[in-house]
Structure 1
Amino acid sequence: MDPVTGIYEYKASHVLPIVFACVLSLSLATHIYQNFRYRFWRITFWMFWGSLLYTIGWILRALSSYSPEHVNLYIAATVFVYAAPPVFSASAYNILGRIMHYIPMFAWLNPNRTVFFFVYIGAVVEGLTAAGGARIATGATELDKYRSGATLITVSVILQCIVEIGLVSIIATLHRKCARAGMLPRNLRFLFYTLYGTSTIVLFRCIYRAVEALYTLDPPGVACSSTCTYFQRQEWLLYAFDAAPMVLFTFWINMLHPGRYLPRDKTRYLDFDGVTERMGPGWLDSRTKLETFIDPLDLSGLLNKKKHHAKYWEEGARWPVCEDAFTTGTASNVRGRVREGVQIKPEGAV
């Protein structure tokens, strides 16, 4: 092992991981503040958790740069840095689910089960990523272990790319339906654009990681092409194509926090005029919990053209109108900003 570079293939920067750890710490603190401010922990908890993991990863990376011969420290830093981005994606899944509760007439899938479906896939990606990162970090001198780790990383990032493309497709479908129906108020536009942007960032990072993994299936010095060697010996690639995009992701969510644009209560939905908000009964699925677990996307109902949920939004007169609205900027999740629970009922409502 080289006494200067240690386990790295280059002299690791001392400054850059510290800079990124500080910037991420600021973003993490801001996100914690906003989650308390908007009381939005249930929806954006994964944003907090991903930021925490990523911050820890770069702190460990900074420590590792001063002790490059310390293998366990390098392994820990690698696992945390690899593990955080899939967690960030989970926050987007939760935001999508809450949007679908807000516009249930366009949510052809159960919003709750849709979130679980994406989270299940995210858990698989997370597991593959962590296992692959650990095997790469420990397998520099063991060819089979290194290759298996690189393969796991490749599979995980390709799977995440597929998931992100699916997510963007669903967002685009909802966006198009809202636009055609004249139900695209300012708050929904901001949310759609935010998810487009953050998903593109994650996809950009995944493509880089996939290309890197495919070109570096072998450890340094073993049948490694010039491109492979470049990927393994250029540290700036890690910061430009992994760290920087993820930092941008966290700040984007902080600047356009969904707690500003979506109600905390998932029974609150947007009416067909695109302005009025009502308090409905929430998404009602006639199936048992076991059936929804086995078929989370209600594919059986989709194939039979008979969905298993009540279309309560078609009986708008039954549900009370909210005095304030996120569509007009008069509603807020901040405690004390609005009179919580104050509603007016239209004539004939029950």
Structure 2
Amino acid sequence: MATDISNYYMYQPQHVVPAVFAALIGISLLLHVYQNFRYNFWRVTFFMAWGGLVFLIGWIARVVSSYHTDNLNLYIVQTIFIYAGPPIYSAAAYNIVGRLMNYLPMYAPLNPNRVLITFVYLGALVEALTAAGAAKMSAAGDDLSRIKSGGTLMAVALVLQAVVELALVSLVGLIHFRFSRSGSEIPPNVKKLFITLYGTSTLVIVRCICRAIESFTLFGEIEKGAKHYGYILAHEWYIFAFEAVPMVLFTFWLNVFHTAHFLPRQKTRYLDLDGKTERLGPGWIDRRSTWETFADPFDLGGIFAGKPNHESFWLSPEKWPVAQDGSFAMGTTSNVAGGQINKSPEEGQILSMTHA
């Protein structure tokens, strides 16, 4: 399919399908805003609202752009915002993992308070590369060298995000392995969080791989000096199947399995070694300076010396009071104000508040 100089797309774009995705993303965004207010959980899942807003703007701009295919500004806006949304969504997962490690400090391989900062810095790099590459490609017109340089930035960003997601999945897998090896039964709230993090990260990785293939396909066509683009670039269904669908599933997954159902709002509240009781501890205590924790987040120096630099406060449960409003592990409490659930411990095994 030859490129029409009056059309910045390589095909005649759909009007209805992008509108459907915009509506779905908008519904999910409203749900996230409602849930964050209901559970007062903004500090943990703020990025779901921010990412949803950015992604929504991108798809609304694409709908408008589909009626004005010769408008460069609209084309640039929809390209940048659609590409920029997913890395922000991923930042929500980084925050969730950090909060999960605060809840399970005995199985955390590094300082939970450094997880978000480390991954968000990497995410910011992905975001910067994505925005720069998308802007350069969108404004390139018929300049193949600018298309290629912009595409290179996009490909690097996509590969980097996939690597970061693999690192996140590995971190979750390590926590999961340590918990399983401890001999304690993993409570339902933690199991569901593990499944959610595995699933949402897989969706992001699939999206990154498919988008990277798209970018490398573009490189191949440019290298051949082709005036006609390959099948992937000339068909719109590819962006729907491998950009919109995975991220719509991602955002609704975190609507249905919102973290506020499974983890306490307070980061100092942790699960005791019995896998049932929750206590109000001091939070993660690292005796090193801030710069040392950045330079050696896994405290390898302390581990090899046989003297870890963090306090194992969970080994002295008698020092820390039991949470009096119930337990997320037992399904007997909620983040809703006054949300204690009047249940017996046996009934609490069923997380009836999971989808409240």
Offset, 1:218: 6.1
Alignment of 1:222-261 (within 5 A): 223-224=225-226, 229-261=230-262
Q: Could you tell me how far apart the structure 1 residues matched to 2:292 and 2:251 are?
A: 36
Residue 96 (str. 1) matches residue 88 (str. 2): no
Residue 329 (str. 1) matches residue 331 (str. 2): yes
Offset, 1:290: 3.5
Aligned sequence identity (%): 49
Match of 1:135 in 2: 136
Match of 2:54 in 1: 53
Alignment of 1:35-46 (within 5 A): 35-46=36-47
Kept after mapping to 2: 8 A contact 1:6/1:68: yes
Kept after mapping to 1: 8 A contact 2:109/2:175: no
Q: Could you tell me how far apart the structure 2 residues matched to 1:10 and 1:221 are?
A: 21
**1:274 match: secondary structure:** coil
Match of 2:348 in 1: none
Residue 313 (str. 1) matches residue 314 (str. 2): yes
Kept after mapping to 1: 8 A contact 2:19/2:63: yes
Alignment of 1:141-290 (within 5 A): 141-181=142-182, 182-217=184-219, 223-224=225-226, 229-290=230-291
Kept after mapping to 2: 8 A contact 1:154/1:210: yes
- Counterpart amino acid of 2:329? T
> Which consecutive unaligned segments of at least 5 residues does structure 2 have?
342-356
> Could you give the per-residue CA deviations for residues 241-275 of structure 1, whole angstroms, max 9, x where no partner exists?
11011000000000000001000001111111110
Kept after mapping to 2: 8 A contact 1:98/1:111: yes
Kept after mapping to 2: 8 A contact 1:132/1:153: yes
Q: Could you tell me how far apart the structure 2 residues matched to 1:236 and 1:257 are?
A: 30
Offset, 1:17: 1.2
Kept after mapping to 2: 8 A contact 1:117/1:296: no
- Aligned residue pair count: 337
**2:219 match: secondary structure:** coil
Q: Judging changes above 3 Å, is the alpha-carbon distance between structure 1 residues 280 and 221 closer, same or farther for their aligned structure 2 residues?
A: closer
Q: Judging changes above 3 Å, is the alpha-carbon distance between structure 1 residues 98 and 183 closer, same or farther for their aligned structure 2 residues?
A: farther
Q: Could you tell me how far apart the structure 2 residues matched to 1:231 and 1:140 are?
A: 19
Residue 19 (str. 1) matches residue 20 (str. 2): yes
Match of 1:114 in 2: 115
Q: Could you tell me how far apart the structure 2 residues matched to 1:302 and 1:266 are?
A: 25
**2:232 match: secondary structure:** helix
**1:321 match: secondary structure:** coil
> Could you give the per-residue CA deviations for residues 200-256 of structure 1, whole angstroms, max 9, x where no partner exists?
000110110111111112677962498x52121100100011101100000000000
Q: Could you tell me how far apart the structure 2 residues matched to 1:334 and 1:282 are?
A: 22
**1:217 match: secondary structure:** helix
> Could you give the per-residue CA deviations for residues 277-309 of structure 1, whole angstroms, max 9, x where no partner exists?
111000111122343344444444345443221
Q: Could you tell me how far apart the structure 2 residues matched to 1:199 and 1:123 are?
A: 17
Q: Judging changes above 3 Å, is the alpha-carbon distance between structure 1 residues 214 and 304 closer, same or farther for their aligned structure 2 residues?
A: farther
Kept after mapping to 2: 8 A contact 1:146/1:218: no
Match of 1:345 in 2: none
Kept after mapping to 2: 8 A contact 1:168/1:199: yes
> Which consecutive unaligned segments of at least 5 residues does structure 1 have?
340-350
Q: TM-score, normalised by structure 1?
A: 0.92
Kept after mapping to 2: 8 A contact 1:100/1:107: yes
Kept after mapping to 2: 8 A contact 1:157/1:207: yes
Q: Could you tell me how far apart the structure 1 residues matched to 2:260 and 2:227 are?
A: 48
Offset, 1:64: 0.4
**1:230 match: secondary structure:** coil
Q: Judging changes above 3 Å, is the alpha-carbon distance between structure 1 residues 225 and 276 closer, same or farther for their aligned structure 2 residues?
A: farther
Q: Judging changes above 3 Å, is the alpha-carbon distance between structure 1 residues 14 and 191 closer, same or farther for their aligned structure 2 residues?
A: same
Q: Judging changes above 3 Å, is the alpha-carbon distance between structure 1 residues 338 and 156 closer, same or farther for their aligned structure 2 residues?
A: same
Q: Could you tell me how far apart the structure 2 residues matched to 1:93 and 1:304 are?
A: 29
RMSD between aligned residues:
1.9
Kept after mapping to 2: 8 A contact 1:285/1:308: yes
Q: Could you tell me how far apart the structure 2 residues matched to 1:55 and 1:86 are?
A: 14
Kept after mapping to 1: 8 A contact 2:25/2:248: yes
- Counterpart amino acid of 1:261? F
Kept after mapping to 2: 8 A contact 1:280/1:312: yes
> Could you give the per-residue CA deviations for residues 146-173 of structure 1, whole angstroms, max 9, x where no partner exists?
1111111111111111111111111111
Kept after mapping to 2: 8 A contact 1:220/1:232: no
- Counterpart amino acid of 1:331? T
Q: Could you tell me how far apart the structure 2 residues matched to 1:206 and 1:305 are?
A: 40
Offset, 1:108: 2.0
- Counterpart amino acid of 2:258? H
- Counterpart amino acid of 1:192? F
Q: Judging changes above 3 Å, is the alpha-carbon distance between structure 1 residues 283 and 145 closer, same or farther for their aligned structure 2 residues?
A: same
